[in-house]
Amino acid sequence: MHPIDDTRQTLSAGLLGPADALLARLSGAFSGIASTTIMVFMLLITADVLMRNLFSVPINGVSDYVAYAIGACVFIQLGSTIRGDRIIKADFLMGGWETDRPVLANGAKTLFYGAAAVVLALAVRWLWDDFHKSWTTSEFTGAVGAYQIPLWPFKLAVVLGAALCTVETARIALIRGWAFFGALFSSKGDRRGLWGFAILLGLVALFLSVLMGGALSPVQVGLMAFLGLFFLVACGMPVAFALLAMSFLGVWLTRDNFNVANNALGIAASGAVRSFEFGVVPLFVTMGLVLDRADVGRDAFQVAVVALRRLRGGLGVATVAANAVFAAITGSSIASAAVFSRVAVPAMDEAGYTRSFSTGVIAGSSVLGMLIPPSLLLIIYGLLAEVSIGALFIAAIVPGLILAFAFAVLNVALATWFPDFVGRPDETKTEEMALGPMLIRLVPVAFIIALVMGGIYGGFFSPTEAGAIGAFGAFLVAAARRKLDWATIKSIALETGYITASILFLIIAANLYARMLTLSTIPMQATSLIASFELQLVAFVLVYIVLVILLGMILDSVSIMLVILPIAIPVVSALGGDLIWFGIISIIAIEIGLLTPPFGLSVFVVKGALPPGFVTLGEIFRGAAPFVLVMLAVTLLLVFVPALVLFLV
């Protein structure tokens, strides 16, 4: 066990004792409630779609129920997500501090989680008043005479969940603070990083003194908050906490009114994700997790291997093809990287491919999961930019196929002209497979694609409803393959809850951040500045792509979108750009960051899915480098030929 983890467990047991055990059980119980609720509204939406399309008898109130339930689920699940350290953050600095500078790591986390606990406590107070008002006024949604859904149970769930995650956040601050002061005052304490913490504390104090000195204009406050956000995220503060803290300060200081900031915080917490459309996130996550457990990706790879065995570099091309198919049913790059690391790398290694190339192919082609619809990043972009998710899905088809084809050509070219890089594989040992078994293995894939994409494009249901239908269909596939039992269903439900809470809590924080940017007038000022430079749309987009790729070296995809898009989208609109086209460009540029050091999330996922010592991070980055160049080329092609994105829309 890592020394930091061991210390944390010891302190948790000794310092908090039975109270911590009770808190853990409470967080676990809340997590179970949230995960179960997600499964319930999956079934409810599915029933509504079937009743409406088959019998013209819709179930009243489904969209309202889901809208309020999804917001409640985020906060109910959040305490367990924080306790399990599942909240999104950048570890490229903090990971080294934990090992080499424990005082710096513990001191930084005490500051970060302590500040987050204060902001969350302010949100809890506002949410309690909102619940109390709903209770005393018998607030409801719906229509008198048709259906009425009381709102106080949902708002009570939100305030209880927010209170629990506040306590969980304060618990981490307390444990880390105890470890920090224990190291300082114990004769045997490890004081490595003390000077680093002193520097960090000094920088934070200097930043706050400048920010709160009262001499800054709203634009300057916004820029300072923007810089502070990146500093905190780079130092390891969870992204959502950094967004909340800096946005709260930014709103407070731009309006010079604490109550305005407090109201903005409460409104974001209570209503930012209170929409039926946000239900699409947990539903597509569920679908991807179920299909992963049903080994659909493994079957797609085996069929592709047989079909492409006579092609030079055939296993590499088969990996790209299988990733493209898997992307069309899961929408997750990380899921693709994890699945094909286990499935394809052993086969490629046995055939004689170099380990650098085989792992590079996995990492490189995994990005198709976030472009080929249904894509989780496309969904998040659609929610942020307020554009049609269905239109984004349609627009992504051709670029996704172009990128997959370009990856396949790259594999063949590398295998032909750079055999030392690729290896000299012997693929003659590939087993034959008759056409019938191949088609049988592809039936689940065809079924899910037809169900989800056919329903959306055919106008039978919305993307959110497609997520529910797809998740239900995935459960049917897994059950038919006898891959489901109670333990598996429970695991899928809990994992869905964790992923949903971490993503939607980020969107809640980004809602406050967008409000802060608006009050600071940064988007308007940026638009005016670009107009004064007479910068054209293409030039702006090229600069934007460079910035996004640089951000991708330190941040994850969702965080980049939430930080940069509130500034970029108004500028693109002012320059006459199509937001559907801009969304596809953004997704590809952001995904390049998954393959670039030092963060390179897909590379780390591939490394983590393989046996220790099998391959180094440097080897994977080298293997993925050609795919980065191809992605850049495809991105530039789409920038200069927008019709490739828009002609189907």
The distance of Cα 55 from the centroid of its chain, to the nearest Å, equals 37
Tell me the backbone φ, ψ of residue 215, rounded to 5 degrees.
-105, 5
**Residue count (the chain):** 649
Say which residue the tokens 């950048």 belong to. 90
Q: What DSSP state is assigned to residue 12? A: I
Cα–Cα distance measured from residue 553 to residue 560, given in angstroms and rounded to the nearest whole number: 10
Confidence of residue 151 (pLDDT cuts 50, 70, 90): very high
CB atoms within 10 A of CB 476: 17
574 and 350 Cβ atoms separated by less than 8 Å? no
C-alpha to C-alpha distance for 196 and 308, rounded to whole angstroms = 55
Strand partners, 154: none
User: Is the separation of the CB atoms in 288 and 75 below 8 Å?
Assistant: no
584/397 Cα distance (integer angstroms): 10
Listed in sequence order, the residues at least 6 apart from 450 whose beta carbon sits closer than 8 Å to its beta carbon are: none
Mean pLDDT of 298-303: 78
Per residue in 47-92, pLDDT tens? 999 999 888 888 988 999 999 999 999 999 999 999 988 888 877 7
Whole-model pTM: value is: 0.85
Model pLDDT for residues 375-413, shown as the tens digit of each residue: 888 888 998 888 988 889 889 989 999 999 999 999 999
CA–CA–CA angle 166, 167, 173 (5° rounding) = 90
For 424-443, write each residue's pLDDT tens digit: 776 555 566 777 777 788 88
Estimate the share of the chain in helix, then strand, then coil, as percent rounded to the nearest 5.
80, 0, 20
Residue 202 burial (10 A CB sphere; 0-12, 13-18, 19+): exposed
